[in-house]
Structure 1
């Protein structure tokens, strides 16, 4: 099934282009329901959790969590998305270079609890911001090129603290009918990618088919939410 998309590749420039041209149909103008409905499972009674947001665009989820007292670190390639996030949420911010990441920029809210890096995700590492107690992956694993998944998982697991709770949103559909992105990520693939080092729990599976996906030629579109935690042994 996956072979239909195995070689599909999006260059970083294509993502930047989509932001520049406002072709960002994946952006949600509200906090993601799946995050909202499962936040207690992610927090597990913890306060002031440090969250990582990979390829977050300008997700409102970041401000929502920051307003609860958590700290946010994100990595995004589009400068436009980062600036829009701060501007649309009326947050003042500073801009600085990152000596450890040549070519990268860091945008930091004046309240200091939101730090957004503009750089290639794969150049980021735990050397930059340490490890995280929470990760919200709403549109990252489904956006990266399928052949980069092993590399992506190596990065994400290296960023997970021992008590990290990682919420992963994946999509199921017929990849013969639509080339992506977002890409098809079957549950067995999640198991193959994370199963060696992490426990995986499927929290929800919902029918997410809308006119948008029907226009892509799809007749079913399932959104799955997984909770991934490092194995304790």
Structure 2
């Protein structure tokens, strides 16, 4: 489905952190969902793989309600977002008491932590985060991060994500396909070939599902189809 599209057409599209912060300030957060993502619910066991109480990572977490859903199941949730508005909104809207403290290893970063010790959200630039802060993770849910980062940063992003994966980590990745000549993003177009280029050397990549996600909102972007895909990535044993 990508054969006729120039996968490089969005390469020059570049959003600065301040632009994302401005979107939060202006309430332009159409990417946020008020309910737990259906594909996460459908494929949660693919991440858990029979495990209980695992450590989940949410890159560019915003105020995703999925975080509370997982914490309520007994998992520990870690997230990173450049904008503290979404993080504070999360705790407020979910009625979760929290504390705020500086992060010694990341200048100017803040940690917002639920008082029950189940949710840890870091307010900093994603690329300032590393496994040296809180270790590696057992599961990753990437619903709006890969499709939001600047296409020119994808190699850097993939390297970061791989560095955060523990040996048995299971990474659930949500992507979109559409005609990038009709819409500049975000969310950005992420073809399967790109995932193979970014992760194929280090990870096994399994396509779990592909669904028609076109709604009136997306037709207003000027596109004529939108396919949402969910993939499961695991580290290749010989490299882990």
* Bin for the TM-score computed over the shorter chain: over 0.9
Q: Distance in 1 between matches of 2:141 and 2:31?
A: 15
The offset of 1:222, in angstroms, is 0.3
The offset of 1:3, in angstroms, is 1.8
The offset of 1:48, in angstroms, is 0.9
Q: Which of structure 1's runs of 4+ aligned residues deviate more than 4 A?
A: none
The offset of 1:129, in angstroms, is 0.6
- Partner of 1:117, secondary structure, is strand
| 2:180 is the counterpart of 1:141 | no
User: What TM-score, normalized by structure 2, do the two folds share?
Assistant: 0.96
- How many residues get paired? 233
Q: Distance in 2 between matches of 1:130 and 1:26?
A: 28
User: What TM-score, normalized by structure 1, do the two folds share?
Assistant: 0.99
Pairing 1:144-159 to 2, within 5 Å after superposition: 144-159=149-164
2:108 to 82, 103, 111: 103
Pairing 1:37-186 to 2, within 5 Å after superposition: 37-186=42-191
- Partner of 2:8, secondary structure, is helix
Q: Distance in 1 between matches of 2:129 and 2:102?
A: 14
2:222 to 217, 220, 223: 217
Q: Distance in 1 between matches of 2:135 and 2:8?
A: 36
The offset of 1:125, in angstroms, is 0.2
**What whole-Å deviation, never above 9, does each CA across 1:23-65 have from its counterpart, x for those lacking one?**
0001000000000000111100001100010001100000000
Structure 2 stretches of 5 or more lacking a match?
A: 1-5
The offset of 1:75, in angstroms, is 0.2
Structure 1 stretches of 5 or more lacking a match?
A: none
The offset of 1:4, in angstroms, is 1.3
- Partner of 1:84, secondary structure, is helix
Superposition CA RMSD, Å? 0.5
**What whole-Å deviation, never above 9, does each CA across 1:99-138 have from its counterpart, x for those lacking one?**
1000100000011110000000000000001000000000
